[in-house]
Amino acid sequence: MLVYLAVPLAKLNFLVPEKSSGCMDNDLKSERYGHQKKTQATVAEAKIRCLEEWASLDKGHCISLLGAIEALKASTLRLPVVGGATADIQSLKDAVGSAVDVMQTMLSSIHSYLPKVEEVNSLVNELANVTAKERASLAQCKGFLSNLATLEVKDCSLRTHMLQHKFKRKPTI
């Protein structure tokens, strides 16, 4: 049961202490968490930009590969091996040589992309690890903030209770 007393606010000023050191520690922890969250967000944004750039490169590479596949199909001859089939040896040699040239060009292109692919793969793995740690940190912070709010409510309740008992004991004139 709450008891409301008619006491001027000026008399209550001496009863309400400044923030306790525990509250200040919690404020510092909240500030550090906010700074850490901003830093992690900045890192994540940079990684996302790299992934978006990779998606653009990947699209161009896929288009290039499809074109090479079509060129290989067009330059490859399919001859029946039965029934005494004949072919112009020079045309066959030219077609196979053209297919080999296209495949060598593709190979050099693939080799030039390989270091970038390995780097992006490493960055994606790192981003996945950072994201998992960030989610765990956010869950932990949510628990801390929930506990802090509960403790703050209890603190206010206890302070109010103490004030009520102080005024009950003092005789009013």
pLDDT in tens, 58-98: 777 778 778 777 777 766 656 555 666 677 788 878 888 88
Average pLDDT over residues 1-13: 42
pLDDT at residue number 1: 38
Structure tokens at 112: 């030039």
pLDDT at residue number 76: 63
**Of the candidates 27, 41, 39, the residue with the CA atom closest to the CA atom of residue 145:** 27
Q: Which residues contact 171 (CB under 8 A, 6 or more apart)?
A: none
50 exposed, middle or buried (CB, 10 Å; 0-12, 13-18, 19+)?
middle
pTM: 0.39
Give the confidence band of 116 by pLDDT, cuts at 50, 70, 90: confident
Is residue 126 within 8 Å of 46, Cβ to Cβ?
Answer: no
Q: To which residue do tokens 């960055």 refer?
A: 123
Q: pLDDT for 9-65, tens place per residue?
A: 444 444 444 444 454 566 666 677 677 777 777 877 877 887 778 777 777 777 877
Radius of gyration (Cα) for the chain, nearest Å? 37
